Structure 1
């Protein structure tokens, strides 16, 4: 993470803004929580250098 500290800080700030906006409406926070967690996991994996698999196509 030290090599990508700027990216991690920007991602954290973006997530903070989005979650604070969603927290003003309880339903918004409930809807946003799974997407926030997926974003955090995806950023962690990419910053560690792991390629994420492509989504399945129908």
Structure 2
């Protein structure tokens, strides 16, 4: 039984969201700019993951 498309979209959303936030928090801590949870563009990058999750589902599991 194949999982639904929405699960792939949500997983893609969270993977891109977490990786983007972690990357910029590491960059900010290395540069000494202080901790920052929100980074401009976070939601846009996460929505890109949502979109790519849907495309990958359509291409490989449909």
Mark the structure with the bigger radius of gyration.
2
What TM-score do the two structures reach when normalised by structure 2?
0.42
What TM-score do the two structures reach when normalised by structure 1?
0.44
Greater RCO (CA < 8 Å, at least 6 residues apart): 2
